[in-house]
Amino acid sequence: MALAPRPNDRWIAECQALADGIRRRVLSHTVTHGGYLSQACSSAEVVGFLYGRGMNLGPSEGPLVPPPYSVAPSKGNPGYTSGMLYNGCRAANKDRFFLSPTHYAMTLYAALIESGRLGPDGLSQFNTDGSTVEMIGGEHSPGHETNGGSLGQTISQAAGVAWARRRKGDAGKVWVFLSDGECQEGQVWEAIMNLAFQKLDNIHIVVDNNGQQVDGRTEHVMGLEPLDAKFTAFGARCLRADGHDLAALDAAFETPHPGKPLVVIADTDPTRGIGLLKERWPNLHYIRFKEEDERARYAEALKAMGD
C-alpha cells in the first residue's frame, strides 16, 4: 500500500529546485575538473529532501567562505572551524547529520550552497592545498561532522551520538546518509544490530542504492539484495522508496518505527538528469575526461540545464 505524503506540497518544488541545483553545480565542476558526478545524479533528490524538508537544522554557523585548515581541534586552538557548524547549532531539539561516504563531499557542498549555508566562492578552494573544502571530506569540511575513515565506519559514530542523545533526553534526531556499497562492510550490520538492541528510534538512515561502486556494478562485486530484508532481519524498520520521488521519500520517513532505527533504501539512478553518463555505465564512480570532445559534450549538457 502506498504511503500518503504530507499536505501542502509547495515544498516539493522547493526541494526539486535544490536537487536540480545540486546536479548543475556538480556537473559544472566536473566539466572543469572531473569528479564524482554520478553520486550527485543518484542522490540529488535525497540530499535535497534532507536539507529542504527532512532535517530540523538551525541556521548555519559556519563562515560563507571556509577558512584554511589550521590544526586539529583542541583547547589550545579555539579558532578551529568544525564542518558541523554549517548544519547549525547542536541544540537538544535540533537534528544532527552524518555523511558516511565522504567522496560524496561535492554533492554536500552543492547542497549547502543551494540552501544558503555556504557561499559559492567556497568552491574555488575545492581540493587545493591547505583548504578544508576537500574532495574526500573530513570533520573540518563544510557539512561534515566526523572523519568518515574507511567506508562503513560513520554509522557506528552516529549510533553512539544517537545513544548519547537518548540518554540526555534530546528531542533532536540523528540522520545518516549511507551508500549501497558500504553495506558490504560488516561494521554496518554490527551498528544496525546494536541500534536495534538499544531500541534507538531517534535515528534515520537513508541508503543511496544506485547499484554502482568503484569496481563496477554492485551486484557483480558483492550482491546485496534483498537489502530491505537484511535490514529488517537485523532489527530495523526498513522501507524502500523511489529515491527521485520526493513525496515517496517524505512518506517513508514519516513511517512510525517505535523502538527501532528507521532505514529507507532509496532506489536511485546514477545517470539521472545527465543521460550522457549512460554511455559510461557501469564505469561511473569517478568521471575523468580523456578526450576534449567528450568534455565539450558535457559542457553542452550543462548549458542545456540553464541557470
Render pLDDT for 1-37 as a digit per residue (tens, 0 to 9).
344 555 578 999 999 999 999 999 999 999 999 999 9
pLDDT of residue 6: 56
In a domain, 157, yes or no: yes
In a domain, 9, yes or no: no
Which regions of 138-219 does DSSP assign to beta strands (E)? 174-179, 203-209, 212-213, 216-217
Single-letter amino acid code for the residue at 28 = S
Mean pLDDT score, 210-232: 94
Report whether pLDDT(226) > 60.
Answer: yes
In a domain, 280, yes or no: yes
Count of structural domains, the chain? 1
The answer to whether the Cα torsion of 50, 51, 57, 60 is positive or negative is: positive
With contact defined as beta carbons under 8 Å apart, do 261 and 200 qualify?
Answer: yes
32-88 tens-digit pLDDT:
999 999 999 999 999 999 999 999 999 999 999 998 887 776 777 777 788 999 999
In a domain, 167, yes or no: yes
In a domain, 192, yes or no: yes
pTM: 0.94
In a domain, 251, yes or no: yes
**Average of per-residue pLDDT values in the chain:** 93
Range of the domain at 115: 14-66+81-305
pLDDT of residue 1: 32
> 204 - beta bridge partners?
175, 262
145-191 tens-digit pLDDT:
988 877 889 999 999 999 999 999 999 999 999 999 999 999 999 99
Q: Indicate the range of 121-125, 219-223, 299-303 predicted with least confidence.
A: 121-125
pLDDT of residue 148: 81
In a domain, 154, yes or no: yes
- Taking the C-alpha atoms of residue 280 and residue 275, their distance in angstroms, rounded to an integer, is 10
In a domain, 5, yes or no: no
CATH number at residue 298: 3.40.50.970
Mean pLDDT score, 91-109: 97
